[in-house]
Each structure stands twice: as C-alpha cells, then as structure tokens.
Structure 1
Amino acid sequence: MTGIHKRHWPGDKDRPALALHCMMGSAGYWGPIARRLEGRVDLTGFDMPGHGRSGPWMEGTEGPDFHTAVTRIAASFIDRPLDLIGHSLGATVALRIAIAAPEAVRSLTLIEPVLFAAAPNAEQDARGRIITGHLAQGHIEDAARAFIDLWGAQPFDDLPPPACRMMTDQIRLVAATDDTLTHDRANILRDGGLEAIDAPVLIIAGERSPAVIHAIAEALAARLADVGRASVPGAGHMLPLTHPDETAGLIAVNLDRA
C-alpha cells in the first residue's frame, strides 16, 4: 500500500466530520454532499487503498486485511469527537470505529451498511458465490459485472471502458472483505458493542435497494440506543451519487440531533 489521497471540504472548524466511501468509489463523490451541507461541518475524506488517487492495495501475508487497513487509516484522521458518515463498505468501517471508540463519535450516519452478517440472507449468499466462482475461474470481468449490476449506479456494460477496467481491477477487493462483511471477522456484532454507542445514529437506505439492506438496517437499529431510519424514495444503493439532495438533507438532520 502506498500513499493515501486526502480530500477536504472546509467548513465549521469546531465541527469536524469524516466521510468514508463505498467499494469501487472514491471520496470525490462526497463533494456534492459537502456543498449541500454549506459548511456546517469541516468535512474530510480519503480514497481507500486501490481507489481514486490513492496507491494500490498490496496485501501482505502478515499485514492487516483490507477492512482492518481501511479502519486504521480512518482512525488516524480522528483526534477529537467528530461526525462520522459512511456509505456501504465505508458505513461498516464507520460502525467498527464507533463500537471500538464510542467516545470519538459525535454522530453516526450509516448509508446502506453492507454488514451482511447482521441479517444472513440466502439470496445474498448466492450472489457472493457467483462472484467468487467467476474469480476462481479467472473470469474477472464477469465478476465485476455481477457486482456492479447489483450495487452500482448503472449497469456495468453502460460504463465507459476506463471505468470498467478500473472496476475489474478492484473486484478482488470485494472478495477480500467477505470474511468481515459476511462472517463478521472483525466482531462488529459482539455482545454489547452496538449498545455502547450513545451518539445519535441514522441509518439511510435506498427504497429500491436489495431487500438484504433493509434487513440489515432493521437488525442494527434494534440494538442501537438512539437511532433513526430513513428510506430515500426511488433510490438504490448508490444514493449519495444519484440523490445528493436527499442524502445531504438526511445527514443534516442527524447533525442537528447531535
């Protein structure tokens, strides 16, 4: 792993915030959200390893797994209580941080958290097997297509060729997070962990997202002390990109709650 690219949208210096992007995304998509928040928070983001302008992810035999590495990078940006915002994989990282250090979180906004272990689902398990099967057979582009056609903002074959190549390069990172997201390798769901979060939490889902997302939101909300839920009409998994007005508005609601 080489350099991590940081992004910053200036705002209220007394209200730091950290935003964590999804798999195959980059921190750049928080820009429209930051503009709509109009400086109410001083927002920082970073491109995860292998994403955006950051260096590639180089897994070592004795180093941390990808999810742990991203969590450690995110934690390095925190030096005082802040508003933590995460989307998809980024939401699971945000949740992991909030459980490990609840005193560091002023508010927690989870957009489409993909912690599949919270709501085991046979359909989702089958999707995972399709991707790992393609990878095992060396059909890397087919694996990327299967992933993006479900979770992306548009079908894989409608994307520009450079984007397809980039996502094909990144698809192995999806498999690399399976132990954490599907089997809870990081023990995010441990007894008392979610219950220890005393910051206001908002879980946001797209109305048209796969059913497993809504089941995850329900399972997490049942264990959180101060939680709200929201569904964005007409939106799918990539709602920060497709519905920035609604996403920013809901983030603002949770900021006000803190």
Structure 2
Amino acid sequence: MSGLHLRRWPGNEDRPALALHCMMGNASYWGPIARDLRTSVQIEAPDLPGHGQSPDWDGGPPDYHTVVTRAVAELITRPLDLIGHSMGATVALRIAVAAPEAVRSLTLIEPVLFAAAPDAANDRLLDRIGARFAAGEAAEAARDFLAIWGGVDWESQTEAGKARLTRQIRLVQASNEALRRDSAHILRDGGLEAIDAPVLIVMGAESPPVIPAIADALAARLPDVGRARVPGAGHMLPITHPHQVAELIGLNLQRA
C-alpha cells in the first residue's frame, strides 16, 4: 500500500526524522514536538492506513501491521531518526529489527508489543473488547479500548468522532496477531540485539502496568538503551505532555 498522507514541519533538512502515531490517532499530534525539535531534525509523519487523510485498509491480506510496516518502510530512503508511539512504536521497532542500518536513533514511546510481557489483566481487557466487536458492538468496543488506551472521554466526542472511532476499532482487532502473539517475529532471537542505534523507551508514569513490563523486557535485550518516565502522564503523553516528550527525544538524538 502506498499513497499515505504525509505531514511535514520545518526543521533541519540535513537530518530527517520519521514519526509514527498511535492507533486511532493521526499524524497531526506530532506538530508541537516537531516544532520543539526543529533545530535538530525535520520531522515527517504519515497518517497510517485507515487514519487521518490516508486511504483506508482493505482488510488484507497481508495483515494490518504488515501493511503499515511496508507502507512506512517505503518512506525511508536514507538512515534517519525513527520515533513511534504505541502501535506506531511497534512498527518502528519492527523496521529497526529488519533493517538496523536504516535507523540512526530509535525512540519508542509506550510500545504496545504485548507479546514481550504477557499480562493477565490486559489480556482480559483485550479479550472483552474482542468479544464485543465480534458481537457487533463496535461502538462499545471502541469506548472500552479508548478508556484505557486512548485517554478519551467517549461522551465528549462528536457524533462524527464516535463514528470514526467505531470504524477504526477493527484495526485494533486486526493488530492482535502482531501485538499479542508477535506474528511479525519482532522478538525473534538476535533481532533486538542487532539494533546498534541508541534506543530510548519513554513511558507515562501513570500508564497501565503492562507498559513498564514491556519496557523491561525490551531493554533487557537492546544493546544501547535508556528509559524515561514522564510524571503525571498516561499513555497519550505525546499529546498531553509534548514538550517533555520532545526534550527526551532530543536527548536521544544527541546520543546518535
């Protein structure tokens, strides 16, 4: 799949960076972070398939995570700084494992690679969401998902917003094999160990407990990794705490 809608902000054209947004979001939220980092890098960010102004996903095959990864990989023409949030962080990590030479630095914000640290409470939540979706209750499934992973007050959304989020919950379900069972083999032997770029894992201090567990599991295998927590932040910290996130990304850029 090609033709992703790209957003680009002014910055240092000699040092490109690519930022990948979360599930059910869009690339616009990288704007404040891109402006804070404009003297260091120039950030470009795609709307992922089925999000923002990019084309919808046709349902595959291949699976959704693979479609996103291939579409993003087409945008990389030289080594760059790769930044990802949530599902976008898992795509960034998948690219770094497959082509470590393409990544100058890697910043993973709240990576939701659940297969790295299985968590019973999170599994129950995702199973409940899946059951609601399968029962034709897509709106209820979206509301339950966003209550934990989106920081969204469902009742405050417009009807158009609710309709969009209800459509997008199918993409969450379509990502389960990659995120919960690692069908993409991101965690394969030697994969994480081959990433020689500096990696930073950023978390919100108030995020679900599975996030620090994932961070621990990934960090144990990455050769050059740092971790940071943003006080008062949850899963959506690039939106709620953009300046703190930008400062942390900047520190990782300097390490490269």
Q: Same fold (TM over 0.5)?
A: yes
Match of 1:210 among 208, 211, 218: 208
**What one-letter code is carried by the residue in structure 1 that aligns with 2:131?**
G
CA offset digits 1:28-75 (Å, max 9, x no partner): 110111011133112111101110011111123xx3111001101111
Per the alignment, in what secondary structure is the counterpart of residue 132 of structure 2?
helix
Q: Structure 1 residue aligned with 2:175, among 174, 177, 193?
A: 177
CA distance in structure 1 between the aligned counterparts of 2:161 and 2:195, rounded to whole angstroms: 38
Whether the aligned pair in 1 keeps the contact of 2:10 and 2:38 (CA below 8 Å) is no
Between the aligned residues of both structures, percent identity stands at: 62
What is the CA distance between 1:2 and its match in structure 2? 7.4
Other-structure match for 2:4: 4
Q: Which residue of 2 aligns with 1:195?
A: 193
User: Shift in Å at residue 134 of structure 1?
Assistant: 0.4
Aligned AA (1:177): S
Give yes or no for contact 1:153–1:242 (8 Å, CA) kept in 2: no
Write the distance in 1 (CA, Å) between the matches of 2:2 and 2:225.
37
Deviation at 1:136, TM superposition (A): 1.2
Does the 8 Å CA contact 1:12/1:42 hold for their aligned counterparts?
yes
Q: Partner letter of residue 54 of structure 1?
A: S
Contact 1:145 1:157 in 2 (8 A): no
- After superposition, residues 14-163 of structure 1 pair within 5 angstroms as 14-60=14-60, 63-163=61-161
Equivalent position SS for 2:83: strand
The aligned counterpart of 2:241 is: 243
SS of residue in 2 equivalent to 1:52: coil
Spell out, residue by residue over 1:124-154, the C-alpha distance to the aligned partner (whole angstroms, 9 max, x if none): 1101111111011111110000000001123
Corresponding letter in the other structure for 1:79: T
The 1-side partners of 2:37 and 2:2 are apart by 31
Q: How many Å separate the matches in 2 of 1:66 and 1:133?
A: 19
- Which whole-Å deviations, capped at 9, do the CAs of 1:150-169 have from their partners, x for residues lacking one? 01123222323222111011
Are the equivalent residues in 2 in contact too, given 1:151–1:237 (CA < 8 A)?
yes
CA distance in 2 between counterparts of 1:38 and 1:78 reads: 19
SS in 1 for 2:202: strand
Query: Any unmatched runs of 5+ in structure 1?
Result: none
Q: 1:215 is paired with a residue of what secondary structure?
A: helix
User: Is the alpha carbon distance of 1:2 and 1:194 closer, same or farther for their aligned partners in structure 2, counting shifts above 3 Å?
Assistant: closer
Question: What is the alpha-carbon root mean square deviation over aligned residues?
Answer: 1.1
**One-letter amino acid matched to 1:234:** G
Unmatched segments (≥5 aa) in structure 2: none
Describe the SS at the equivalent of 1:124.
helix
* Larger displacement relative to structure 2 (148-157 or 185-194): 148-157
